[in-house]
Amino acid sequence: MKPELQAKITEAVWIGESLFSRGKTTGSSANLSFRHEDHIYITGSGTCFGKLTQESFSVIDMSCRHVDGIVPSKELPLHFMLYKRSEEVQAVIHTHSFYSTLWSCLEHECEEDCIPLYTPYLKMKLGTVGLVPYAKPGSEELFAAFAAFMDKSDGYLLKNHGPIVADKDLMSAFYCLEELEESAHIAWELRNEKNISG
């Protein structure tokens, strides 16, 4: 295996372990991917972020065909749409992190930018976060809803489901995901405080 590919896999495994060990994802409820040369490497169906290895990745070509490795995550089409949207996208992470998922269950006045600007860091790292209408995970309806919404925001909350972010490399996507989760946590706590005091 080429050193550059090995480095990306090592980084992906570290990100998975970090998210899992801190309770940002559980069981097999998350997936991540990265682009290397003319292929996308995505965690396989049923893999756990706490136990990722080199063998946990499926290899997909740029026509979205499975060419090597284990069966890919059923949410591969979400990742693939983001890669096709821009060549600048080199990594995608999707989790069911707690506060982002909580926030995705609420109704929001502005669905293209649904997290309040309490601190500047979400906008600095990611930009706007849109709320994609609900459809069953892994379904054609979800993929269609995501495709229709994709150009409206910079990052996304899948309604009643969780966040998905993309960026120029794995660590940048990881930082965006972390900031999204922290911003959702702040928004949730301030919402509760307002409800109690009101």
Q: Report the catalytic residues.
A: 75, 121
**Number of C-alpha atoms within 13 angstroms, CB side, residue 16?**
28
Label residue 23 left, alpha or beta by phi (over 0 means left) and psi (-120 to 50 means alpha): left
Nearest-angstrom CA–CA distance, 8 and 24: 21
Q: Nearest 10 degrees: CA dihedral of 52, 55, 61, 66?
A: -110
Sign of torsion over alpha carbons 18, 84, 44, 7: negative
Q: How far is CA 109 from CA 38, 106, 127, 130, 195, in A?
A: 40, 10, 18, 11, 17
The token duo for 120 is 């500047």
State the Cα–Cα distance between residues 134 and 122, nearest whole angstrom.
Answer: 23
Token pair of 117 as six digits: 């600007």
Residue 39 has which token pair? 């292929």
